[in-house]
Amino acid sequence: MKTCKDVEILCTKAQYNEATLLEKIQLKLHMLICKTCKTFVKKNTKLTSLCSQAKIKTLPMEEKEKMKRTLRSKS
């Protein structure tokens, strides 16, 4: 049986379609007996969904570097 820490990793892999069939089965089996992990998987799935819907964008690397230089010059 997988540990809760293992299930945390399997959950993430499953959400990004990187889990094997065996890993998905192990995840389901563990969730049958562990309510804590079952809750974690539900919340993590919801968080991933919300982040996707938010269409979060990050700054380009050049903008990040410019901000770093500006902050360094002011300190």
Q: Give the model confidence (pLDDT) of 35-69 as tens digits.
A: 999 999 999 999 988 988 888 788 899 999 999 99
Nearest C-alpha neighbor of 10 from the set 36, 33, 37: 37
Nearest C-alpha neighbor of 67 from the set 35, 27, 58, 12: 58
| Domain range enclosing 59 | 4-74
pLDDT at residue 9 in the model? 93
For the chain, how many structural domains are there in total? 1
Q: Give the model confidence (pLDDT) of 4-33 as tens digits.
A: 999 999 999 998 899 999 999 999 999 999
pLDDT at residue 31 in the model? 93
